Amino acid sequence: MSAKCAHAADGAGAPAKVPVQPARLAKGGLIDRDAPLEFTFNGRRYHGYAGDTLASALLANRVRVVGRSFKYHRPRGVLSAGVEEPNALLEVDAGYGSEALVRATMQPLTQGLTARHTNSWPSLGWDLGRIVDFTRPLWRAGFYNKTFMWPGWHWYEGAIRRVAGIGRLPAAPDRRSYYHQNLHCDVLVAGSGPAGLAAALAAASSGAHVVLVEQDREPGGTLLFEAGRIDGETADAWRLQTLHRLRQMPNVRLMPSATVTGYYDHNVLTVHDRVDITHPQRAVERFWKIRAKEVVLATGAIEQPLVFAGNDRPGIMLASAVRHYIVRYSVTPGCRVAVAANHDEAWRTAFVLQDHDIDVPLIADVRSEPGEAVLAEARRRGLEVRLAAAITNTYGTKGLRSIEVGTLAEFVDGTRRDTSSVRCDALAMSGGWSPAVHLYSQAGGRLRYDSTHGCFVPDRCRQRVRVAGAANGSFGLGAALREGHAVGAAAAEAAGFATTARQYGHAAEADDYPVSPLRAHRFSSADRQWIDFAHDVTVADIEQAVCENYVSVEHLKRYTTTGMSVDQGKTSNLNALAMLAQLTARTIPQVGTTTFRPNYTPVTLGAIAGARSGELYAPARRMPGHAWHAARDAVFDSYGDWLRPAFYAKVGESREQAIRREVLSQREAAGLFEGSPLGKIEVVGPDAAEFLNRIYVNNVLTLKTAQVRYGLMLNENGVVLDDGVFTKLADGHYLLNTTGANADRIVAWLCEWHQCEWPQLELLISPVTEQWAALTVAGPAAREVLAGIETDIDFSAEAFPHMSLRCGLIEGLPARVQRVSFTGERSFEISVPADAAETLCQRIERAGAPYGLVPVGVEAVLVMRLEKGYLHVGSDTDGTTNPFDVGFGAIVDRKQTDFVGSRSLRRPNDQRVDRRQLVGLELLGGSAPLRAGAQLVESRGTGYRSVGFVTSACVSPTLERTVALGMLEGGLARKGDVVTGMDEGRQYRLRVVSPCVYDPAGERING
Amino acid sequence: MKGYSFYSILKHGMRRKPRWPAAWHDVSPQRSYDAVIVGGGGHGLATAYYLARTHGMRRVAVLEKGWLGGGNSGRNTQVSRSNYFWPESAAFYDRSLQLYETLSHELNFNVMLSQRGILSLAHSHHELETMRRWANAIQVNDVDSEILSPQQIKKLEPLINLDTRFPVRGGFIQRRGAISRHDAVNWGYARAASALGVDIVQNCEVTGFDLRNGEVRGVETTRGSISTERVCLAVAGHSSQLAARAGLRLPITSMSLQAMVSEPIKPVLNTITMSAVIHMYVSQSDRGELVLGGGADVYNSYAQRGGLPLLEQNVAAMLELFPVFRGLRLLRQWAGTVDISPDTTPIMGLTPVKGLYINAGWGTGGYKAIPAGGETMAHTIVSDSPHPLIRAFGLDRFATGRLVDEGAAAGVAH
Amino acid sequence: MMQLQCPYCGVRDEMEFRFGGQSHITRPSPEATDAEWADYLFNRDNLKGVHAERWYHGFGCGRWFNVLRDTSTHEMLGVYRMGAPRPALPGKDGETP
């Protein structure tokens, strides 16, 4: 900075120990001068005050260059004072881990905060990437689509990727905690400016439950820095009173430092809440899901830059941001601050500057006839004004030094004359305002173009939403208060509350300055006029896109990447549209606008996930006997939602050894297996049998009480959906077993058939999986083991044959015992009330000890079922398998009545004999183990053709050889054939055999 | 195609005002065409391009109701792969990937194909078996695939967390799997087709069909009637709507498929990583954004807006695999309307209406099929019989029951 | 996130429910031709606009019910029990543009 400012007399009012902040004004501002804070930027120490943002503190220290631009690496300074900031995106560590791309304008200053620039190398002051800036014509829109093709993109990609991507993955671990919270309310008000406060107050006074969300840590919006009187008081006094009133009301929840980021269906809104981010003990971010009966959007408007050559120099700022820094933070962006505008409202910046004793060398307005009020006021104040004038160039390498202003002969054709140079170190510019309609648009609301204010405003929306104040295109304090009150009251009424409150807070609307910007003007070198600061898009890029026919607004956005950076075009979209309209001789409404998407501002990924990580990512279901298994060194694995013992590891045993031991123990003595996840569904009612007969492939009607039958369920497309046994407990009372993973799905599916297709059938479907623990005692010694426990059930072969059920008492507990087997051994599946699982496990263990009973895990059971050739739905079947493919042809053919999926089985494709069918496979020669997933192939020309695959395979501990199942084209008719298996390049010779290779006669199971 | 090169950029860069030719020309529709393609997305534009280039058809129009590439071709997550289970699918998608591999040169438009590999993760021993079945099938189908151990995965993608709630037990990679720039593919085809004389008509909605004796005679549009005897529907997302105007009912449900991106950061991911168990996939674009997605919102929707539950699910799943990203921020979430077919396989070829061809049912994965979709549909339109590569994808498969169910093997598709 | 009005439980979040597709589809007799059967199994109206569909309150009462919903805006236009006739929506029937 060249000149020393007379006004910036920091040090006079501040404590002596605090180093001078050269751009801090002597008094005023919503900062606490008694609470100085130290921070560093790029390693240098600075001081600010509590109440500062990082941006205001940097400005107070006259740090003008805060970053380098994305593509051209041009020095950039703070542009705004809010969420729209495209330049001041820093890497910040405020004590809870470093964060990339933090908007300095929204980051509260904290003691010890460290910040550094991004996207500049080797240093912020001297950036090698700037070379791109000096060859700008080569890097215009779409350059990468036109070159880097020879020899191939991969030659260049690595380098391009490294220079793209603005931020860095934070190196320090993230120490934040994240929570989800839910809230229901009557009226949600987004934004706490004058319109939002008025709306919240009007709604709350009716008794409605109101939530007021404010993205800034200090509620008030423009009241924090704009002049104006409400009910005869200053705006800030009214703000504090209103906030006080709202805080007194028990039906109001005020949420500062929280941003409404998404507006979803049915008035569900998301709020990213950072109020506890600087919590002394632990930093917390919350992600709220708020279900609001009615929504009021009072989200204000975002000021738009002017487009002129060199409009990106540090020191050039949005006019409202200049007022914001001066009034709220008591920081001036410069000593001589010029003002450039295209509407009346921005002129007030000059008045505020002057009121704070800051030189205003010039007000330049592109219009030839500004409003009489502002002109008179400027004249009264003796300010230099140039009309029909625009900035034609700017100077200053590391910050603005001067501007060149030209008067327009007539500003439409862009001919200029009378250029003169004006010395200034900052420029407040305003190209008008764009209402923050993002949330409205996300809600599905349509927008319309307001030609008076030169912006898009809300039009209509099907959701229960109202808009007030600047967000609605109603600019000015008076309008905001009036509309806010009306909309807040209407929202409360729509939510069912009677409102009688009179409007509280009036401002004279005559004091407001009109916002009616003139947008279309264009001079000097196109490639030095920035449209999008964040993505370095200039007018030249837009010109080129138009020249190449990318004239749809979406094409323009994508081709030039306007508005696609981290700021999502908050200060660029409107200017890009205006420029596109001008270049294609269309109006802005003809050009239209792009769609706004969530999020309004970026949301931490951790906050969106909330507590859903690790254990809580998908809570595991534990079996009733879990603790018993754990105490026996069970190695647990996930099987669907369930954590189950895969095997029990004895010291020194490998997984394979453990499984082998368990298999052999059960085959030779006895095993105890907990199968509680097995789906258990009871179907009760006079029509239960008829219903189930329509569901199962098998005949249900012939089943007698206490009999058990194995059955298949198909979906309506004839594909095997699930298998398991079903048992007739009594007349009109059945128990269905499903595979564990399918249990919930099958219940919903049965309910659908009953409730939607056959509601006239009288029955009840009741899922009882969780009520019962299922413990299976199996093996040649199973009966002897059970003889050692207290029961009134007769387990003898004559009294309790295979595939039947007995009910009684076991160890005093009501029990259902099914004699069914998935392993080929004599097997009793005992169901007792779930909370008795552990006790019964212990009793069985004790009774079984003399016979060599061991606990058996899932993997051993799967090996045994494979030796036995039993189908495992999901492993041996997939979404294409029909019952013919798995050997159920005879059962299907025998069933005379219709069942779910039966009609599909008569289609030509289902009847094909060359379908892939389930077979057993025997490994011929070779020592490499065959694995599930190997392909079955036959030669075709020079390559192979797949004719199936191995669905299950293992080395059988019982038979000491490989046993396998597979799906093979026409397999049912190919017994004895030798086929080729292929697995990761290895080849196998496999003979097609019967699926069952262990005890095919079933003597063990029935004995 | 020619015209784009570093030299041309240099040449134009030296001029004060750009004088680049239009990438494609917008025209008003003529009264009649040899073939009309409905839908100016990637598939429609590619079909028109191959009709003109391979088959020499000159009087071809692409009718787009909005702007080119405004549907799913401009909303997807840009993944190409051919790691398919069924031979029919593998042959088709591998042809498409082969065309992608030379597409930038073919179109003289850099589509930025980045073959960084698509990595599929298995989270249990049983899933690893399914994956081995899948990987072996792919090899038999003459497509590249490699089974990887957890350690190999960690080496490939150092930031991954193998010890998730569902531990990573292994995976497999198709190294030719790629991402590219979807807009570039749309624009590249549009430019090349336009140069070959194809009429590209934007803001022209087809409102009906002129059918006589079960044959197509023309289409009605918001910009007048057009007579033609060959019409191809390539309007994924709205296939049922258009087909209904020709009296056809389709086995399609329209749903919203979501995608989302983070703020851009310097390169941290090397592959496209997907997990069927935790339902998500993630890659990093050349711009630096993490691009993630998962399934569709499972209800009928034409809203082109994503819901909240799936967003939370996707983000949580991604952080489960890559917890180091939890401090990054989510920039934008969007959705496209996709055609979900019963077997997750596209519906391509002839329809009961003579002269009406269909290219639909892309589910969550139409982008990768654009080049082969265009090539095979062009052949199908010219010869009035399905191209051999798409014979299994016909609408008639639903009555015979001969579905091509990739869902059984592929898990999350995209 | 949609909010559904379960006729048995009241308004609940979308996450408690499961979508079951288009309502009022008649299951043909087993004598149907392959084409008729395929039409029943696979073909759907897939309307853009008012859509009658069924939902299952799985994390609630376990009941299926019908919903009229606009598929382009996700507006809920009516709820009725399984088996009840579809209620008329004045001025809403048919497709929205």
Band (A410; pLDDT cuts 50, 70, 90): low
pLDDT tens, position by position, A92-110? 999 888 999 999 999 999 9
As a whole number of angstroms, the distance between CA A909 and CA A891 comes to: 19
Q: Is C48 on the interface with A (CB under 8 A)?
A: no
pLDDT over threshold 60, residue B410: no
The radius of gyration of chain C from alpha carbons, rounded to an integer in Å, stands at 15
Residues of A in contact with B87 (CB under 8 A): 945-946
* B110 vs A: CB within 8 A: yes
**Which chains have 3 or more CB–CB distances shorter than 8 Å to chain A?**
B, C
In a domain, residue C95? The reply is no
Rounded to 5 degrees, what are φ and ψ at A963? -120, 145
- Nearest-Cα distance to chain A for B146, in Å, is 8
Cβ of B267 within 8 Å of Cβ of A597? The answer is: no
Does A638 lie in the same domain as A628? yes
CA distance B328 to chain A (A): 6
Q: Which of B341, B334, B336, B372 is nearest to B240 (CA)?
A: B341
**Are the Cβ atoms of B253 and C44 closer than 8 angstroms?**
yes
Do residues B93 and B345 make contact, with C-beta atoms less than 8 angstroms apart? no
Residues within 8 A of B (CB atoms), A 97-136 only: 97-101, 135
With respect to residue C17, please indicate whether it lies within any of the assigned structural domains: yes
The correct CATH number of B115-177+254-340 out of 3.40.50.300, 3.30.750.24, 3.40.309.10, 3.30.9.10 is 3.30.9.10
Residue with tokens 């109020």: A275
CB contact under 8 A, A265 and C2: yes
CATH number, residue C64: 3.30.2270.10
Identify whether A745 is part of a domain.
Answer: yes
B189-219 tens-digit pLDDT = 999 999 999 999 999 999 999 999 999 999 9
Residue from A992, A967, C44 nearest B408 by CA: A967
- The structure's pTM equals 0.95
CB A333 within 8 A of CB A320: no
Contact state of C48 with B299 under an 8 Å Cβ cutoff: no
For residue A548, the domain's CATH number is 1.10.10.1100
Tell me, yes or no, whether A387 and A458 share the same domain: no
Q: Do B249 and C53 touch (CB under 8 A)?
A: no
Interface-testing mutation among C4, C42, C67, C73, with chain B (most B C-beta atoms within 10 A):
C42
Quick one: pLDDT band at residue B18, thresholds 50, 70, 90? confident
Locate the chain A residue with the closest alpha carbon to B404: A880
Please indicate whether, in this complex, the C-beta atoms of A604 and B334 are within 8 angstroms of each other. Answer: no
Q: How many Å separate Cα A776 from the centre of its chain?
A: 44
The answer, for A227 touching chain C at a CB cutoff of 8 Å, is: no
In this structure, the answer to whether residues A374 and A248 fall within a common structural domain is no
**CA terminus-to-terminus distance, chain C:** 24
Rounded to the nearest 10 degrees, what angle do helices B182-195 and B42-53 cross at? 30
Band of the pLDDT at A417, cuts 50, 70, 90? low
| CA-based nearest residue in chain A for residue B203 | A552
Instruction: Kindly determine whether residue C15 and residue B342, on different chains, have CB atoms separated by under 8 Å.
Output: no
**Chain B nearest C-alpha distance from C89 (Å):** 19
Query: Taking CA atoms, what residue in B is nearest to C51?
Result: B300
Q: How far apart are CA A383 and CA A913, in angstroms?
A: 95
pLDDT at B229 over 50: yes
ipTM of the complex: 0.97
Average pLDDT over residues A782-789: 96
DSSP A390-403: EEEEEE-SSS--EE
Helices marked H in A443-529:
477-494
A436: tokens are: 């923050």
Residues A646 and A775 in one domain: yes
pLDDT in tens, A204-248: 999 999 999 999 999 999 999 998 899 999 999 999 999 999 999
H helix runs in B167-273, sequence order:
182-195, 239-245
* CA distance to partner chain A, nearest, from residue B22 (Å): 4
CB interface of A with B, residues 412-471, below 8 Å: 442, 444
Same domain? A636 vs A777: yes
Nearest Cα to Cα of residue A961 among A925, A1003, A918, A1005: A925
List beta partners, residue A639: A642
Domain count, chain A: 7
Q: Shortest CA distance to B16 belongs to which of A71, A409, A140, A403?
A: A140
A-chain residues within 8 Å CB-CB of C37? 903-904, 907
Per-residue confidence (pLDDT) for residue C94, from 0 to 100: 45
Domain boundary among A485, A511, A537: A511
Residues B183, B185, B191: CA angle, nearest 5 degrees: 100
**Using CA atoms, how far apart are residues A743 and A861, in angstroms rounded to an integer?**
19
* CB-based contact, A175 to chain B, within 8 Å: no
With an 8 Å Cβ cutoff, is B309 touching chain A? no
Looking up tokens 């699982």, which residue turns up? A837
Give the mean pLDDT of B374-390.
98
Chain A residues inside the 8 Å CB shell of C20: 752, 756
| Residues A148, B72: Cα–Cα separation, whole Å | 26
Percent of chain B with pLDDT over 70: 98
Q: So what's the pLDDT on residue A408?
A: 76
Tell me the average pLDDT across A128-155: 90
Q: Could A759 and C82 be called an inter-chain contact, meaning their C-beta atoms sit closer than 8 Å?
A: yes
pLDDT at A739 over 60: yes
What range does the domain containing A363 cover?
305-431
A82 and A55 Cβ atoms separated by less than 8 Å: no
A946–chain C Cβ distance below 8 A for any pair: no
In this prediction, residues B302-328 reach a mean pLDDT of 94
Length of chain A in terms of residues written: 1007
Measure the CA–CA gap between A682 and A805, rounded to whole angstroms.
Answer: 15
What does the pLDDT read at residue A144?
Answer: 92
Look at residue A199 and tell me if it is in a domain: yes
How confident is the model over A770-779, as pLDDT tens digits?
Answer: 999 999 999 9
CA torsion sign, B383 to B384 to B385 to B389? positive
Q: Do B308 and A262 touch (CB under 8 A)?
A: yes
Q: Which residue of C has its CA nearest to A268?
A: C1
How many Cα atoms are found within 13 Å in the side-chain-facing hemisphere of A919? Answer: 28
Please answer yes or no on whether B183 and A904 come within 8 Å at the CB atom. Answer: no
Contacts of A875 in chain B (CB under 8 A): 126, 129
- Contact by Cβ (8 Å): B26, B201: yes
Domain count, chain C: 1
Q: Are A3 and A18 in contact (CB under 8 A)?
A: no
Where are the extended beta strands (E) located within B150-202?
170-174, 178-179, 199-201
- pLDDT range class, residue A19, cuts 50, 70, 90: confident
Q: Quickly count: other Cβ atoms within 10 Å of residue C31's Cβ.
A: 9
Residue A522 pLDDT grade (very low, low, confident, very high; cuts 50, 70, 90): low
CA dist A821 and A815 (Å) reads: 18
Helix or strand holding residue A986 (H, E): strand A986-993
In single-letter form, the type of residue at position B160 comes to I
Per-residue pLDDT at A124: 87
| Position A898 in a domain | no
| HEC assignment per residue over A853-897 | EEECCHHHHHHHHHHHCCCCCCCCCCCCCCHHHHCCHHHHHHCCC
In this prediction, residue C95 has a pLDDT band, given cuts at 50, 70 and 90, of very low
Distance from CA of B239 to the nearest CA of C (A): 9
* pLDDT score at A925: 84
More confident of the two residues A564 and A9: A564
- Each residue's pLDDT tens digit, A856-880: 999 999 999 999 999 999 889 988 9
Closest CA to A225 of A499, A451, A28, A472: A28
Q: What are phi and psi of A800, to 5 degrees?
A: -140, 75
pLDDT tens, residue by residue, A821-831? 999 999 999 99
Query: How many CB atoms sit inside 10 A of residue A355's CB?
Result: 13
Rg of chain A, C-alpha, whole Å: 38
Residues A139 and A13 in one domain: yes
Distance from CA of C65 to the nearest CA of B (A): 15
CATH code at position A165: 3.10.20.440
A609-651 pLDDT, tens digit each: 999 998 899 999 999 999 999 999 999 998 988 999 999 999 9
Longest dimension (CA), chain B: 64
What are A591's two structure tokens? Answer: 């050009």
Distance (Å, whole) CA A936 – CA A916: 11
Q: What CATH number has the domain bearing residue A825?
A: 3.30.1360.120
Stated as kind and residue range, the H or E segment containing A980 is: strand A978-983
Residues of B in contact with A610 (CB under 8 A): 312, 316
- Using pLDDT thresholds of 50, 70 and 90, give the confidence band for residue C97: very low
C96 touches chain B (CB under 8 A): no
Confidence of residue B294 (pLDDT cuts 50, 70, 90): confident
Q: Tell me the residue type at A51.
A: G
Query: What residues in A contact B394, CB-CB < 8 Å?
Result: none
**Class (C level, CATH) for B24-79+182-251+343-400:** alpha beta
Classify residue C32: in a domain, yes or no. yes
Q: For chain B, say whether A878 makes contact (Cβ under 8 Å).
A: yes
Question: What is the CB neighbour count within 10 angstroms for residue A470?
Answer: 32
Q: With CB atoms and an 8 Å threshold, state whether A462 touches C2.
A: no
Bridge partners, residue B340, by sequence: B253
Strands A177-190 and A210-213 turn out to be parallel
Q: Could you tell me whether strands A284-297 and A465-467 are parallel, antiparallel, or unpaired per DSSP bridges? A: parallel
Q: Which domain covers residue C41, as residue numbers?
A: 3-81
Quick check: A406 pLDDT over 80?
Answer: yes
User: C4 to chain A nearest CA, in Å?
Assistant: 9
From chain A, the residues in CB contact with C56 under 8 A are: 748, 751-752
> In the beta sheet, which residues pair with residue B215?
B212, B354
Chain B, chain C: beta-carbon pairs less than 8 Å apart: 69
Spatial CA neighbour of B193 closest among B385, B394, B1, B390: B1
Output the pLDDT for position C96. Answer: 39
Residues of chain B contacting C51 with CB distance shorter than 8 Å: 300
pLDDT tens-place string over residues A713-738? 999 999 999 999 999 999 999 999 99
Same fold, B24-79+182-251+343-400 and B115-177+254-340: no
Contacts of A609 in chain B (CB under 8 A): 312, 315-316, 319, 326
Q: Is the Cβ pair C1, A898 closer than 8 Å?
A: no
B neighbour chains, 3+ CB pairs within 8 Å: A, C
The answer to whether the CB atoms of B399 and A718 lie below 8 A apart is: no
Chain-wide mean pLDDT for chain A?
93
Q: Is there a contact between B331 and A878 if contact means CB atoms under 8 Å apart?
A: no
Query: Would you list which residues of chain B are within 8 Å, Cβ to Cβ, of chain C?
Result: 238, 240-241, 244, 249-254, 298-303, 305, 307-309, 342, 398-401
Partners of residue A268 in chain C, C-beta under 8 Å = 1, 3
Core vs surface per residue A657-694: b (16+ CB within 10 A) or e? ebbbbbbebbbebbbbbbbbbbbbbbbbbebbbbbbbb
* In a domain? residue C70: yes
Band (A500; pLDDT cuts 50, 70, 90): confident
Nearest to B290 by CA among B317, B259, B320, B313: B259
> According to the model, what pLDDT value does residue C92 have?
53
Q: What residue has token string 């006790």?
A: A839
pLDDT band, very low/low/confident/very high, at B130 (cuts 50, 70, 90): confident
State chain B's mean pLDDT as an integer: 94
Question: Which of C8, C13, C17, C64 to substitute to test the interface with A, most A CBs within 10 Å?
Answer: C64
Give the start-to-end residue ranges of the domains of chain B.
24-79+182-251+343-400, 115-177+254-340
